[in-house]
């Protein structure tokens, strides 16, 4: 008897096995889903040391001795929330920076409401970021601080550093779009044909739900089907469910995007590609990338579907600095920050790079331009002995967030010490 | 001729006689009734509880109005009973069927023309689609519907509105129009999004047939899903780069914005009746505050820069 080409018996047998597994999984899943789940985000303690309107400045409480002379300010995008850098204990870029001894500040842009629809690039860059930078400079009695920007926050950081090079010691850009004249990413294709004036004039701010729908439509097969199939297959695994729900919380915790920011981002950047051509004007001042004379570290993802490498890799060639480094990691837009594997490479690299450029005065290394692609995980940062002065100075003004510290007065606004809050 | 005229029924005389008879009979009867009613109202003055009057003249206002109407009717009937008036009336009656016919013809013709246009457009569906190419049929159906709506129905929503409430009605009509256009774009957009699913199923069938022929069909059901999701993802990626998709996406977003703007404009009229601020008013206020804060910030910065 000839052997059948279609293994019907095996398929049916496997199907029966799968059905039984699914039944068992469903029973366990009910215990997991009905039980207590730890899905909180942003667990690392911080205090809000400065606030202007809805914008807050978080200062993370040191976990170890501060080993850097210069504090680091992280500027996240206005799309989604900065909590992505601190997803959970053990999987947190913030935690890694603190463990390395970095004195860390981060901007929380808050949730723009309809009254913020008129807030544009100038208000966010020349206004909020400048206020925050000045506050940190004044607090630490420093002329310059380190600035790290993420995605759109990176674009803001580039513009800010070009407008105020005298205030920035080192600039780090991660998954930062600066070249918009490419068709590699779908966003770059789609945004070129959108009637941004019609959208902004109607909606005021760009509604987060529309933005999220747009992001889901970038890959519906994976993001709307396969992801949830994966969840169904693992919903009896408590750790998996907790991680999954935590990511879901972060993904859909989206503030609306201020209308005028969206208008400028689309018209001047996506449609005009003005930044790289030094044609962009913010607050009446031309943004000249040649003003970026400070060391620049530019990190991006090879498989980034939102900000493809082509959108990032031209920056270092356009800046005025001779101390630049380009790093392309074998991961995507979010993977850089949330994947344990790439966190081990990403955070220590930044810590080491900053440490090499942390001394007061000119950098010790000779002027250089480097380009690295798909690096293997770097060794853990081993910084030298801590500079005691900044740490001692900070002790005078800080109290733990969870114990309810005293208020610190900031320029123009009263800083509020508060527990970690999301909304 | 004369003989026939003498023998024939004279319509003018008959109507004239009827009008005169009506005026002569009903006139005095109604007049009598009015007088009796007047007496009834008048009695009320002497016998409380039986009748009543509303003014000192002894007649009610309604009574006076009735008398005036009766007099008018008598005068009209007398005037109409004249031979000249009857002639005119008969001529008018003769024209009535003609007028009704023309009215009917116009409406019927308009309706027929509209139907004809729709039929013409629907008939083009067949002309512009190729045999066995079902995708084109789907595509054309959405486009033809949009076309028909824009050319045939849309005008009804743009008929000039008149009167006191014309501005409000106009906004509602514009909102309805924008909604219809948005629905058309959305339908087309959803059709495009559904295409990768159809195509993936076709590709899956082909691949499974091929694997079955080669005897390489996997026994693990998960592998079928993995294969399908990869094929689906590939189709989506191809679709998303397609200029037609990009154009449809852009048009859908634009039409959504147009509809929301039109809807808000209509709703603002209703909100204006309520004791709450309109969105546009809040926006204006926010803009004023924004500008003031900006000026304040600049002044603050200037004052800090000055020694």
Write out the two tokens for B115.
């139907």
- Based on the fold, state whether residues B153 and B46 are members of the same structural domain: no
Residue B95, domain member (yes or no): no
Find the CB nearest B241 among A119, A189, A222: A189
Name the residue in chain A with its Cα closest to that of B279: A114
What per-residue confidence (pLDDT) applies to A418? 45
Q: Considering its fold, how many domains does chain B have in total?
A: 2
Find the CB nearest A221 among B236, B250, B261: B236
A210 CB neighbours in chain B (<8 A) are: 253
What per-residue confidence (pLDDT) applies to A403? 33
CB contact under 8 A, A5 and B290: no
Residue B97, domain member (yes or no): no
| Coil vs helix vs strand at A145 | strand
- Pairing type for strands A296-301 and A324-329 reads parallel
Report which of A410, A393, A289 is spatially closest to residue A70, judged by C-alpha positions: A393
Residue B179, domain member (yes or no): yes
Residue B128, domain member (yes or no): no
Domains present along chain A, CATH in parentheses: 46-188+274-395 (3.40.50.1820)
B286 CB neighbours in chain A (<8 A) are: 114-115, 117-118
Tell me the shortest Cα–Cα distance from B95 to chain A, in angstroms: 56
Helix axes B166-214, B243-271, angle to 10 degrees: 150
CB contact under 8 A, A123 and B294: yes
A91 or A143: which leads in pLDDT: A143
- Based on the fold, state whether residues B33 and B152 are members of the same structural domain: no
Longest dimension (CA), chain A: 89
| Nearby residues of B243 by Cβ (< 8 Å), 6 or more positions away | none
Low-confidence ranges of chain B (pLDDT < 70): 1-12, 15, 19, 23, 27, 30-31, 33-65, 72, 74-86, 88-97, 99, 103, 106-107, 110-111, 114, 117-142
CB contact under 8 A, A5 and B217: yes
- Based on the fold, state whether residues B41 and B173 are members of the same structural domain: no
- Based on the fold, state whether residues B267 and B162 are members of the same structural domain: yes
Backbone angle region of A175, left / alpha / beta, with phi > 0 → left and psi within -120 to 50 → alpha: left
- Based on the fold, state whether residues B157 and B226 are members of the same structural domain: yes
What per-residue confidence (pLDDT) applies to A404? 35
A151, A269, A312, A328: the active-site residue: A151
Residues in chain A: 423
- Based on the fold, state whether residues B75 and B144 are members of the same structural domain: no
| Coil vs helix vs strand at A58 | strand
Q: Cα separation of B237 and B240, whole Å?
A: 5
Find the CB nearest B212 among A5, A194, A221: A5
- Based on the fold, state whether residues B72 and B139 are members of the same structural domain: no
Average per-residue pLDDT in chain A?
A: 85
Backbone angle region of A319, left / alpha / beta, with phi > 0 → left and psi within -120 to 50 → alpha: beta
Name the residue in chain B with its Cα closest to that of A194: B250
Residue B76, domain member (yes or no): yes
How many CB pairs below 8 A link A and B? 93
Q: Confidence band (pLDDT; 50, 70, 90) for A407?
A: very low
What per-residue confidence (pLDDT) applies to B86? 66
What per-residue confidence (pLDDT) applies to A191? 92
CB contact under 8 A, B254 and A225: no
Report which of A205, A168, A1 is spatially closest to residue A75, judged by C-alpha positions: A168
Asked if residue A169 has pLDDT above 90, the reply is yes
| Nearby residues of A357 by Cβ (< 8 Å), 6 or more positions away | A169, A170, A295, A323, A363, A365
- Domain around B74: 9-81
Q: Is B295 on the interface with A (CB under 8 A)?
A: no
Q: pLDDT, tens digit, for every residue of A95-141?
A: 999 999 999 999 999 999 999 999 999 999 999 999 999 999 999 99
- Based on the fold, state whether residues B74 and B143 are members of the same structural domain: no
A94 or B34: which leads in pLDDT: A94
CB contact under 8 A, A193 and B236: no
What per-residue confidence (pLDDT) applies to A49? 98
Report yes or no: A279 and A318 within 8 Å, Cβ to Cβ. Answer: no
Tell me the shortest Cα–Cα distance from A193 to chain B, in angstroms: 6
Strand partners, A326: A298, A371
Report yes or no: A73 and A38 within 8 Å, Cβ to Cβ. Answer: no
Residue B109, domain member (yes or no): no
What per-residue confidence (pLDDT) applies to A54? 95
- Based on the fold, state whether residues B177 and B252 are members of the same structural domain: yes
Q: Confidence band (pLDDT; 50, 70, 90) for A415?
A: very low
3-state SS of chain B: helix, strand, coil percent to 5? 85, 0, 15
Tell me the shortest Cα–Cα distance from A297 to chain B, in angstroms: 31
Write out the two tokens for A263.
């208008």
CB contact under 8 A, A203 and B257: yes
Q: Is A218 on the interface with B (CB under 8 A)?
A: yes
Q: Is A225 on the interface with B (CB under 8 A)?
A: yes
pTM comes to 0.73
B279 CB neighbours in chain A (<8 A) are: 114
Q: Confidence band (pLDDT; 50, 70, 90) for A372?
A: low
What per-residue confidence (pLDDT) applies to A18? 79
What per-residue confidence (pLDDT) applies to B23? 67
B300 CB neighbours in chain A (<8 A) are: 412
Name the residue in chain B with its Cα closest to that of A18: B221
Tell me the shortest Cα–Cα distance from B204 to chain A, in angstroms: 15
Residue B108, domain member (yes or no): no
Residue B162, domain member (yes or no): yes
Segment 135-174 of chain B within 8 Å of chain A by CB: none
A283 CB neighbours in chain B (<8 A) are: none
């Amino acid at each position: 008897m000839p052997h059948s080409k279609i293994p019907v018996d095996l398929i049916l047998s496997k199907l029966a096995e799968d059905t039984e597994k699914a039944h068992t999984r469903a029973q366990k899943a009910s215990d997991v889903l009905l039980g207590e789940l730890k899905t909180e985000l942003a667990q690392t303690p911080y205090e809000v040391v400065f606030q202007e309107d809805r914008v807050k400045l978080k200062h993370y409480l040191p976990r170890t001795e501060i080993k850097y002379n210069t504090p680091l300010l992280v500027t996240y995008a206005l799309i989604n929330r900065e909590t992505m850098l601190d997803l959970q204990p053990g999987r947190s870029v913030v935690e890694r920076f603190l463990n390395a001894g970095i004195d860390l500040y981060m901007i929380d842009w808050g949730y723009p409401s309809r009254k913020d629809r008129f807030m544009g690039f100038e208000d966010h860059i020349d206004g909020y970021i400048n206020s925050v930078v000045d506050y940190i400079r004044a607090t630490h009695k420093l002329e310059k601080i380190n600035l790290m920007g993420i995605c759109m926050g990176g674009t803001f950081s580039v513009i800010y550093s070009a407008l105020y090079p005298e205030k920035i010691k080192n600039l780090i850009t991660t998954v930062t779009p600066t070249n918009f004249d490419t068709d590699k990413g779908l966003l770059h294709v789609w945004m070129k044909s959108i009637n941004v004036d019609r959208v902004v004039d109607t909606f005021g701010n760009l509604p987060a739900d529309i933005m999220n729908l747009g992001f889901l439509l970038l890959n519906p097969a994976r993001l709307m089907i396969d992801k949830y199939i994966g969840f169904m297959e693992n919903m009896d695994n408590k750790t998996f469910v907790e991680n999954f729900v935590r990511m879901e919380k972060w993904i859909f915790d989206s503030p609306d995007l201020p209308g005028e920011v969206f208008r400028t981002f689309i018209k001047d950047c996506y449609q005009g590609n003005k930044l790289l051509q030094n044609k962009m004007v913010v607050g009446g001042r031309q943004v000249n990338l040649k003003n970026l004379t400070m060391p620049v570290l530019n990190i991006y993802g090879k498989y980034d579907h939102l900000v493809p490498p082509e959108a990032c890799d031209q920056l270092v060639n356009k800046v005025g600095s001779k101390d630049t480094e380009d790093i392309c990691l074998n991961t995507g837009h979010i993977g850089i920050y949330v994947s344990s594997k790439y966190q081990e490479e990403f955070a220590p690299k930044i810590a080491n790079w900053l440490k090499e450029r942390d001394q007061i005065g000119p950098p010790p290394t000779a002027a250089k331009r480097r380009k690295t692609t798909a690096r293997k995980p770097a060794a853990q940062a081993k910084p030298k002995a801590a500079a005691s002065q900044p740490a001692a100075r900070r002790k005078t003004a800080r109290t733990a967030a969870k114990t309810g510290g005293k208020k610190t007065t900031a320029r123009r606004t009263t800083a509020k010490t508060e527990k970690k809050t999301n909304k | 001729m004369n003989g026939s005229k003498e023998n024939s029924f004279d319509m003018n005389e008959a109507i004239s006689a009827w009008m005169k008879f009506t005026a002569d009979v009903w006139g005095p009867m109604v007049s009598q009734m009015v007088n009796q009613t007047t007496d009834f109202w008048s009695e009320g003055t002497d016998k409380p509880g039986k009748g009543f009057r509303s003014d000192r003249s002894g007649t009610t206002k309604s009574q006076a109005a009735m008398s005036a109407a009766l007099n008018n009717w008598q005068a009209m009937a007398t005037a109409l009973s004249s031979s000249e008036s009857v002639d005119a009336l008969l001529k008018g009656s003769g024209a009535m069927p003609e007028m009704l016919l023309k009215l009917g013809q116009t409406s019927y013709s308009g309706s027929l023309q509209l139907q004809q246009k729709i039929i013409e457009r629907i008939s083009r569906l067949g002309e512009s689609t190729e045999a066995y190419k079902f995708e084109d049929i789907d595509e054309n159906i959405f486009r033809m519907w949009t076309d028909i709506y824009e050319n045939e129905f849309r005008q009804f929503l743009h008929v000039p509105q008149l009167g006191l409430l014309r501005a409000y009605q106009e906004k509602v009509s514009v909102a309805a129009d924008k909604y219809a256009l948005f629905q058309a774009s959305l339908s087309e957009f959803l059709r495009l999004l559904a295409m990768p699913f159809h195509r993936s199923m076709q590709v899956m069938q082909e691949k499974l047939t091929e694997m079955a022929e080669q005897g390489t069909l996997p026994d693990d059901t998960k592998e079928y899903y993995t294969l399908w999701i990869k094929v689906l993802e590939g189709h989506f990626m191809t679709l998303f780069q397609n200029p037609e998709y990009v154009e449809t996406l852009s048009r859908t977003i634009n039409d959504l914005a147009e509809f929301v703007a039109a809807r808000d404009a209509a709703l603002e009229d209703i909100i204006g009746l309520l004791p709450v601020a309109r969105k546009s008013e809040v926006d204006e206020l926010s803009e004023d505050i924004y500008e003031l804060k900006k000026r304040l910030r600049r002044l603050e910065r200037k004052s800090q820069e000055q020694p």
